[in-house]
Amino acid sequence: MNSLKFYIDGAWVDPAVPATLGVQNPATEETFATISLGSAADVDRAAKAARRAFSTYSETTVEQRLGWLARIIDGFRARLPELARAMTLEMGSPITFATERQATVALFHFEEAARVLETFQFEERMGPGIVRHEPIGVCGLITPWNWPLNQVASKVAPAIATGCTVVLKPSEIAPLSAMLLAEIIHDSGLPAGVFNLVNGDGPSVGEAIASQPEIDMVSFTGSTGAGIRVATLAAPTVKRVAQELGGKSPNIILPDADLRAAVIQGVHACYTNAGQNCQSPTRMLVHRSQRDAAFDAACAAVASIRLGDPLLPETTMGPVVSQSQFDKVQKLIQSGIDEGATLVAGGPGRPAEINRGYFVQPTVFGDVTPQMTIAREEIFGPVLSILNYETEDEAIEIANDTPFGLAGFVQSSDPERARKVANRIRAGRVYYNGAPFDRSLPFGGYKQSGNGREFGLYGFREYLEVKALLGFPA
């Protein structure tokens, strides 16, 4: 599975300077593939190709772009099992989850971009003038390893749908599914230079994208610290920066909710993708009178999880992505113990029956206070903190006491009461009673969880400039 070339200007090319990196299977700790690491020279080559292509691609018709999207969608569907397996190998997502969620939702972004494009009004009359929506230009896209294809698709699909051109840097930790997507895009006949892919790490390729003068927009998904660095490097060229960053989402279970069902659902939502999920509801807020019942329900939920070989269909949780991620999660679990939280389930170390791979025990802490490290830092592993509250106002105060604001969750049998709580949560999304994750609605954060929005119509608009035309007849 070696992938040593980059996709630039419609062809697979060698990097400017030879350098390689092994791709590790986190379930076995074995290196199973090799990629090349790019440099600023590769980014420069890709950005110039994208700039040349933009001059003509930005003038293509809606019908032409719908045709290319349709061929990408067909190619994606045909290779979906292969894409899912690649993600299982590169980042440990269980094969069932990789097929039904990781790959399938990535496909949805292309389908959704085509749906929005089909009816989008690129020009509209407004008072005495005309408002025109035009593609922003060359877009630098920097994506993470936790949803390696979903995050790529959520950016690439609207970019090419709107008439933009792209320089993509997928995560060097989980790059193989994006390389397969590049093959699908190539086979679609999309014009040369519209889509370009350069592998590499953040300091070498990510920073080159952020600072590259030929790039008009950067869309970044990753940690808040890295997002600050991207925005800083983008500032001198005043390019648009859209960011989806960290989260520490609250899950407020009101006393009138079905507590056991709400806790079990909340535990599983927290552990989605082995907890490597930016909007995971990692802070569960339970009324103090329901503390013990919540602990019992959480233990029942943990007992139903099946860790193991992610290539087996019965596995429901795989490893975290790397040794460094495993070490970070272990350090935070230990901090919860050291700071006096009650260990309800799980704990430090691997599960007893597993002797290799970066597997973390599904862990639940109770009696967590808002100032504990595990209540404040994004853990990005299967670790849940249960906090207690006395009043609804206190629950909302705790929920908002975070620098993040990506998502919130409310559980209640009273929709009207839940809606009032939801309106007070400072976050870009709020889910009621475990509502499914909808990718046609806008996704993005308040505060240090980012700016801009992805998915559906709002994600489409991120890739457009707005021009006002005055004095022209209708």
DSSP-derived 3-state class of residue 467: strand
Burial of 29-45, coded b for 16+ CB within 10 Å and e otherwise, reads eeeebebbbbbbebbbb
Nearest C-alpha neighbor of 267 from the set 376, 413, 365: 365
CA 404 to chain centre: 15
Record the tokens describing residue 289, joined without a space: 């009178």
Q: Residue 407 burial (CB < 10 Å; 0-12/13-18/19+)? A: buried
Token pair belonging to 329: 């999660």
Phi, psi of 397 (to 5 degrees): -65, -45
- Which residue in 244, 378, 454, 462 is the catalytic one? 244
Q: What are the structure tokens assigned to 124, written together?
A: 């509209």
Q: Which residue has the tokens 């697979």?
A: 12
What is the Cα–Cα distance from 330 to 393, expressed in whole angstroms? 33
Give the active site residue among 139, 164, 270, 278.
278
Look at strands 342-345 and 363-368 and give their pairing. antiparallel
- Helix H, strand E, coil C: the string for 195-210 is EEECCCCHHHHHHHHH
- Name the residue among 378, 374, 314, 371 with its Cα closest to residue 346: 374
Per DSSP bridges, beta strands 217-221 and 240-244 are parallel
82-120 b/e (C-beta count within 10 Å ≥ 16 → b): ebbbbbbbbbbbbbbbbbebbbbbbbbbbbbbbbbbeee
Angle, helices 62-78/150-162, rounded to nearest 10 degrees? 160
**Which three-class secondary structure string do you get for 117-161?**
HHHCCCEEEECCEEEEEEECCEEEEECCCCCCCHHHHHHHHHHHH
Residue carrying the six token digits 């849940």:
384
278 counts as catalytic? yes
Torsion of the alpha carbons at 74, 78, 82 and 85, rounded to the nearest 10: 80
Q: Which residues are catalytic?
A: 244, 278
